[in-house]
Amino acid sequence: METILTLLIFFPAVAALFGYAIDRENIRIYGITIAAIEFVFSLVLWIGYDSSVGGYQFLEHMPIAPQFGINYDLGIDGISLFLIILSTFMTLISLIGLTITENVKNLIVSILFLEMTMVGVFAALDVILFYLFWELSLVPMLYIIGAWGGNLRIYAAIKFFLYTFAGSLIMLVGILYAAYLYKEGMGEWSFSIPNWQEFRFPLSAQMWLFAAFFIGFAIKVPMFPFHTWLPYAHGQAPTIGSVILAAVLLKMGTYGFVRFSLPMFPDASVYFITPIAILSLIMIVYTAMVAYAQEDMKQVIAYSSISHMGVIMLGVFAMNSEGISGSLFLMISHGIVSGALFMLVGVIYDRRHTKLMKEFGGLAAVMPKYATIFGIMLMASVGLPLTIGFVGEFLSLMGFYKVSPIMTIIGGTSIILGAVYMLTLFKKSFFGPLTNKANENLKDLTTQEMFALVPLTALVVILGIYPNPLLKPIDKSVKEMIIKMDEKAISPKTKELFMKVNSVGKDR
């Protein structure tokens, strides 16, 4: 267990290199086997995790350039544990459901390399190490979209890369400035995330640092007005690319806010609550309305992802355990549900080579198993009680209600608007008469597709009814983080807000 995080990070990458020696007929089985082993490793990590402790566990340290404070530091807490498990699980599911046959060896190798970067981002406790994994994740996804995407794949891939890379460069400037301030204050260089979380950055510097990190994270989320790359990326990406992009890569941005912005710059985080909440509300309402106007099933789900990420952002900046824990749970639930929805769209696209709703209608009669799973995922997407989507949305909005009841009410329209565009999609595609003869003999879900979709459906129901196994360790780490934020706060307004919205400070 001393090096399990290193094993989790580099096992898929090393296996990917050996994958080049596997013949084309067996590469898919090889990829699924490697992803399954990686998923088992992540479950071992969960079994060995002590949920009664909120701090970092499974720590690994190796000096790289100690004179500059750069080290190979790894560790996890309740905030990152389940995001790692989500990464390994969705990689496995996406490979099980993979239907691409063209140049499949390079695709599977790219997916395994991408898995390394995703796990690395969530396990890194050194800022430079985090940044390396953050940047490396762009390369395989750029290749996946550009090589296996639709007609506009090159445009979509380049737009995705330029947006996220530009944000990362601005974040790099913030990283270097933060390291300089730490050296000035402590007398030595350090890029340790725990050290930066303990260090009290000057109030004026917090504003600039928050802005630099905000741009990098906001583009990845993506927040309005940086969101325009996502519909193109989803629209042109192959199904497996859309699944991993929606399920995991978007969560890197919201994870960055929780890991960096809140604990390192608490005063700036409080100062910018209102503008960030306004941008989040625009994400929720505007993109939901755009989703309703779409005729392409995949674009509906793409814009709905942006809307749901707006709810996550409200929870992150609630500054209390309910909101932040709810947002982290919503990251996981959104990863499962959106990943499943993109996979379901891929199923019908493989059969009809179209995603336009007007081409369908009456599918429930022809593909009952497909319609049933689609309906369950749709209900989870709109936050129906007893589904996984309800838990995170409810906690996120409940947490932010303590900050602003009015904004929370506006944010709550996400449930109503989500129901409108998702039920419209379901009605147009699955109900009514079967008017298109091309749909009369469509094959229902195959065994391979059932193996990919049934586990996701089971999680949607099980974690909707009993979310405590995830919420308990998440909440423990979040409460510990909030206590440290309260202790580090400089501005009286920050202290006042913490006392208003959070019982942790009062209990102390």
Weakest-pLDDT range from 157-171, 201-215, 257-271, 348-362: 348-362
Burial of 68 (0-12, 13-18, 19+ CB in 10 A): middle
Does a structural domain hold residue 323? yes
Does a structural domain hold residue 154? no
Residue whose token pair is 């404070």: 69
Does a structural domain hold residue 343? yes
In 3D space, the residue among 163, 96, 90 whose CA is nearest the CA of residue 122 turns out to be 90
Q: How much is the average pLDDT of 355-367?
A: 89
pLDDT of residue 505: 42
Does a structural domain hold residue 428? yes
Does a structural domain hold residue 482? no
What is the pLDDT confidence band of residue 101, given thresholds at 50, 70 and 90?
confident
Q: How much is the average pLDDT of 387-392?
A: 92
Q: Give the pLDDT confidence of 12-48 residue by residue, as tens digits.
A: 999 999 998 898 889 999 999 999 999 999 999 999 9
**Considering Cα of 365, then 370, then 373, then 374, what sign does the dihedral take?**
negative
**Considering Cα of 111, then 114, then 118, then 120, what sign does the dihedral take?**
positive
Weakest-pLDDT range from 220-224, 413-417, 502-506: 502-506
| pLDDT at position 504 over 50 | no
Burial of 424 (0-12, 13-18, 19+ CB in 10 A): middle
pLDDT of residue 508: 39
Q: How much is the average pLDDT of 180-208?
A: 93
Q: What is the dihedral of CA 212, 216, 221, 227, to 10 degrees?
A: 100
Residue whose token pair is 């960055």: 256
pLDDT of residue 151: 87
Q: Give the pLDDT confidence of 237-265 residue by residue, as tens digits.
A: 899 999 999 999 999 999 999 999 999 99
Q: How much is the average pLDDT of 447-467?
A: 94
Does a structural domain hold residue 138? no
Residue 439 is classified by DSSP as G
pLDDT of residue 499: 85
Query: The domain containing residue 443 runs over which residues?
Result: 272-465
Does a structural domain hold residue 225? no
Q: What is the pTM of this model?
A: 0.94
Does a structural domain hold residue 149? no
Determine the straight-line distance between the first and last CA of the chain, rounded to whole angstroms: 34
| pLDDT at position 84 over 50 | yes
What is the pLDDT confidence band of residue 506, given thresholds at 50, 70 and 90?
very low
Task: Give me the amino acid identity at 288.
Answer: A
Sequence-separated (6 or more) residues with CB below 8 Å from residue 121 = 130, 133, 134, 137, 252, 255
What is the pLDDT confidence band of residue 503, given thresholds at 50, 70 and 90?
low
Gyration radius (Cα) of the chain, Å = 22
Q: How much is the average pLDDT of 448-453?
A: 93
**Considering Cα of 312, then 315, then 316, then 321, what sign does the dihedral take?**
negative
Q: Are 94 and 243 in contact (CB under 8 A)?
A: yes
Q: How much is the average pLDDT of 332-358?
A: 92
Domain count across the chain = 1
Q: 63 in helix, strand or coil?
A: strand
Q: Are 318 and 478 in contact (CB under 8 A)?
A: no
